[in-house]
Structures are given as structure tokens and as C-alpha cells.
Chains A and B, each alone.
Chain A
Amino acid sequence: DGGITQSPKYLFRKEGQNVTLSCEQNLNHDAMYWYRQDPGQGLRLIYYSQIVNDFQKGDIAEGYSVSREKKESFPLTVTSAQKNPTAFYLCASSIGRDRVNEKLFFGSGTQLSVL
């Protein structure tokens, strides 16, 4: 449900490796977000994008990078600079850049672990 798909469901990262998490939506939403979920810390915003070819840093952007080349896609790369990458990553989307206070639709998440 929701029209937003994340893959893979589980991902393992080796030391010094970059990994990319996929997020695709078919809801025709303009805005997309990446959140990190750690036990007891809620959801923390990594990056967000209000429109194609534009994105902004969230509260914990260090060690992460994103791109928004297509409206439907907002991949997140966890770089080797992120020293504590083990977490559950959630992608979300909402209707549009000119409409605020709108419902977020979440993907089913990716669990990233370090080998």
C-alpha cells in the first residue's frame, strides 16, 4: 500500500564501503524525505527534496548523500564517512512543494547493518 517502495529490505555494509538505498514512488508527489530510525530516538531527518534537481540537508546529513534526478526516485547513499550507519531507514513522500502540512506516506523501510 502507499505507492512508495524501498529496496532492499535488508542491507549489509562492509568497512569503508558506500551503499545506496533505493526509494521509488508512483504517487506523483513532489516532496520526498529520508529519515533514520534508531531505538528510543524517533525519526530523524537526513535529507529532503521539494522538487526535482533540488534537495536540502536535514538534521543529520553528515555521511549521507542524495540525488533527485527524477520525480519518482530519491536514492540515499550511505558513505564510508558515516561511522555509525546501523539503523532502520525510512523514505517518505508528500504531495507538493507548494502545499505544506500534508500527510507523509512512508515506505516499508531498509534495515542497514555493518558487517
Chain B
Amino acid sequence: GENVEQHPSTLSVQEGDSAVIKCTYSDSASNYFPWYKQELGKRPQLIIDIRSNVGEKKDQRIAVTLNKTAKHFSLHITETQPEDSAVYFCAATQISGRGAQKLVFGQGTRLTINP
């Protein structure tokens, strides 16, 4: 089955600097890669996703890149702000034995933005 590894587990950056979180996956059949943000005490929420037919996607200060050959994808946050402090999870699809697609999550990265 699919295995998703996420690094680093914790990341601390100065406000205004960029942050990069990286994930690798094992199943070459995976074709959907979302990123979820979970603020302290709140539910995870989707912030950006990418499908396997594109290599990069941007939404204001966040971007995701995908390298299908190397089976890795990354989240990039530029001009970081205090409200970016949260735990970020990457995920990749896994095809079940019954043909259903379900998400496998990485271990999470706790991002702290220092003022």
C-alpha cells in the first residue's frame, strides 16, 4: 500500500522568510496530493492540492510542486506570517482492493513563525 513520509517534523522560521515542507510517496499510481493545515485546537482544512497532470500550482503565498518521477512533492510558503503557524499534513491517494481511492497522510510538520 501507499506510504507517505513527511519532513521535517518541526520547522521554525522568521516572519517574512520562506518555509518548505517535503513529502515522498511510494505508490506510483497515486494521482492526487492535497495539503491540510491544522491550527491549534481546530480541525484540519484543505489549503491547496495538486493532481498528477501538473507540476506546480500556486495560490497567493502558497505553492505546491510535484515530481512524479522522483515521487515527491513539496509545499512552499513565502513571506510567512504569524497566522501560518500550524501543523501541516501532506497526503497521497491509495487505491484500495475494491477500487476506492482513499488518502494516506504524512506524519505532519509543526511550523512555527517567529516574530
Contact = CB atoms under 8 A, between A and B. Distances in A.
A and B co-occur in one complex: yes
Contacts of A44: 105
B44 A90 contact: yes
Nearest to B93: A101
B107 A48 contact: no
Contacts of B34: 103-104
B32 A43 contact: no
A49 to B, nearest CB: 10
Interface of B: 1, 4, 6, 9, 31-32, 34, 36, 42-46, 49, 51, 89, 93, 96, 98, 100-108
If over half of A's interface residues share one DSSP class (helix, strand or loop), that class is named, otherwise mixed; here it is loop
13 contacts: A40-B108, A44-B105, A48-B102, A56-B96, A59-B1, A59-B104, A90-B43, A100-B93, A100-B100, A100-B101, A104-B44, A108-B42, A109-B43
If over half of B's interface residues share one DSSP class (helix, strand or loop), that class is named, otherwise mixed; here it is strand
A100 B101 CA distance: 6
A40 B6 CA distance: 11
A58 B102 contact: yes
Given A56-B96, A101-B31, A101-B32, A42 B45 contact: no
A50 interface: yes
A43 B43 contact: no
